[in-house]
Amino acid sequence: MATMIAEASPSALFDWAKGFWELQPLQGIEEPNLVDLGIWTTFWAALYGCLCLLMPKECPDWVIRIHSNLHCAVILLLAGRCIFVVDERHPLSAARLNEANTPLQNLTMVISAGYFLFDLVWCLVYMGKDYTMLGHHVSSAAGLVASLLLGKSGYEAVAVLAGAEITNPFLSVRWFLRHLKAYDTPFACLNDTVFALTFAFVRVMAYHYFITGIDAHLVMKLGGLFLYLLSVVWCVLIFQVYARRYILKTARRRQPQLKAE
């Protein structure tokens, strides 16, 4: 029994998962081109169409959030492999920055660029003039394509992409809870708290490292700076909403109780 418990320890399970992950070969793309980008854009459009057929009674917002989380899962798996498995150097090692792209990084960026191109069209059709979201999608797709064309800075692009995607599930859960009228629950508060903290840590503090710590091509620096500033604006808005809902609202509720006492 002791042996079984030892074999099931977190470190042993982590080693097993890493070993299993490393056994799965991924060839990647040596020289990505417009055909690859077109294939993946078509794939994401077809997947959205399939989801619409599977969920005919749901609104487009519901379907696109399922769609975006499928993209999130794929990208986090690929990015995690790029960052932690294929290269054994420390994730924040300066030696990994501004290097030539690897085939797996190319594959990850092509898949995601295709998604952002499809999602940009979706936003134009269903969201209208949401300029911050449109700016995010345009800059994301442009940054990925720029890295593919330059043939370098793939590590930074994939790391920033992973940072953007890791907060997406929390935002989707928030939307689903509001849609299902289950937002006034402790779970919603927990989700919003984790989302706000994760956003601030990953998309502001971690992004700052990639913006200031590399000697990359000017195009990559400008694109990264735009995404960083956009993330800062969003972070301020997120914490304003959080403060109004959970801090100021709680304080207002307590004031009548204090007066009554």
Tokens 């709680």 correspond to 250
Q: Which residue has the higher pLDDT, 65 or 229?
A: 65
Which residues, 6 or more positions from 161, have their beta carbon under 8 angstroms from its beta carbon?
75, 79, 108, 109, 112, 140, 144
**For residue 150, what are the domain limits?**
31-253
Instruction: Say how many domains are in the chain.
Output: 1
Distance CA 158, CA 76 (A): 9
pLDDT of residue 64: 95
> Mind giving me the DSSP string for 14-40?
HHHHHHHHHTS-----SS--HHHHHHH
* Burial tier of 161 (Cβ tally within 10 Å: 0-12, 13-18, 19+): buried
Q: Which residue has the higher pLDDT, 161 or 8?
A: 161
User: Quick one: three-class SS letters along 190-244?
Assistant: HHHHHHHHHHHHHHHHHHHHHHHCCCCCHHHHHHHHHHHHHHHHHHHHHHHHHHH
Asked if the structure places residue 11 within a domain, the reply is: no
pLDDT of residue 225: 80
Asked if the structure places residue 5 within a domain, the reply is: no
Q: What is the pLDDT of residues 84-117, one digit of tens each?
A: 877 777 776 767 777 889 999 999 999 999 999 9
Q: In sequence order, what are the beta bridge partners of 152?
A: 100
Asked if the structure places residue 13 within a domain, the reply is: no
Tokens representing 207 are: 């992004």
Asked if the structure places residue 259 within a domain, the reply is: no
Asked if the structure places residue 261 within a domain, the reply is: no
How far, in Å, are 138, 196, 226 from residue 238 at the CA level? 21, 7, 18
- What is the rounded (10 degree) CA torsion for 233, 235, 236, 241? 130
The mean-pLDDT minimum among 2-6, 55-59, 148-152, 244-248 falls in: 2-6
Q: Tell me the average pLDDT of the chain.
A: 82
